[in-house]
């Protein structure tokens, strides 16, 4: 067992912010989505054998948007199983995240609270013959957001495939 930690700061830029424009112009300032935040993650990785591990983690993020109704705090947990066999690796992750906005959304007259669930399967094939430092990667999964404001409910299914180069 060994600990893992991650700390990241970020900024969100929105090129053409139209939230609240026209019908809700009086609320536009409260709905601005640009801002700065940070993300903190801590957990443990458990070695289950020479070729597999289990990661259990918890995380917190804070986003301070220019619009108070879009600022939020979030907490989450993650469980990831990883197996490596020769040049192949496979990872299966399950995640849960709960967020709560700082101020009432002026359009829906409610404080937004979201629960997000996701499951992701990722595969990679490393050390392609004759292609040093290159890997084939593929992933797919699903993400679902259940919000107390129905407008923000969302389901996303995705698949991706590509090449990765390690420096």
pTM of the predicted protein model: 0.83
Q: Does domain 2-165 correspond to CATH entry 2.40.160?
A: yes
What is residue 25's predicted lDDT score, i.e. its pLDDT? 67
Residue with tokens 């900024």: 11
Whether residue 10 contacts residue 35, with contact meaning beta carbons closer than 8 Å, is answered with no
Q: How confident is the model at residue 130 (pLDDT cuts 50, 70, 90)?
A: confident
List the domain boundaries for the chain.
2-165
Predicted confidence (pLDDT) at residue 144 exceeds the cutoff of 90: yes
129-166 as b/e: b if 16+ CB within 10 A: eeeeeebbeebebebebebebeeeeeeeeeeeeeeeee
Whether residue 81 contacts residue 121, with contact meaning beta carbons closer than 8 Å, is answered with no
Percent of the chain exceeding pLDDT 70 equals 95
Mean pLDDT value across the chain: 92
Whether residue 34 contacts residue 78, with contact meaning beta carbons closer than 8 Å, is answered with no
Q: Which residues contact 129 (CB under 8 A, 6 or more apart)?
A: none
Q: What number is the average pLDDT over the span 113-138?
A: 93
The model's pLDDT over 37-59, given as tens digits with 9 standing for 90+, comes to: 999 999 999 999 999 999 999 99
């Amino acid at each position: 067992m060994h600990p893992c930690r991650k700390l990241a700061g970020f900024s969100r830029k929105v090129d053409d912010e139209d939230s609240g424009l026209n019908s809700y112009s009086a609320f536009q300032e409260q709905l601005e989505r640009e801002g700065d935040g940070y993300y903190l993650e801590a957990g443990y990785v458990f070695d289950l054998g020479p070729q597999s591990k289990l990661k259990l983690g918890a995380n917190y993020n804070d986003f301070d948007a220019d619009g108070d109704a879009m600022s939020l705090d979030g907490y989450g947990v993650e469980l990831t199983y990883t197996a490596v066999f020769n040049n192949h690796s496979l990872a299966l992750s399950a995640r849960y995240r709960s967020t709560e906005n700082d101020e009432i959304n002026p359009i829906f007259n409610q404080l937004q609270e979201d629960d997000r669930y996701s499951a992701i399967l990722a595969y990679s094939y490393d050390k392609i013959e004759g292609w040093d430092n290159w890997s084939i990667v593929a992933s797919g999964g699903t993400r679902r957001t259940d919000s107390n404001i129905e407008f923000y409910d969302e389901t996303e299914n995705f698949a991706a495939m590509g090449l990765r180069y390690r420096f």
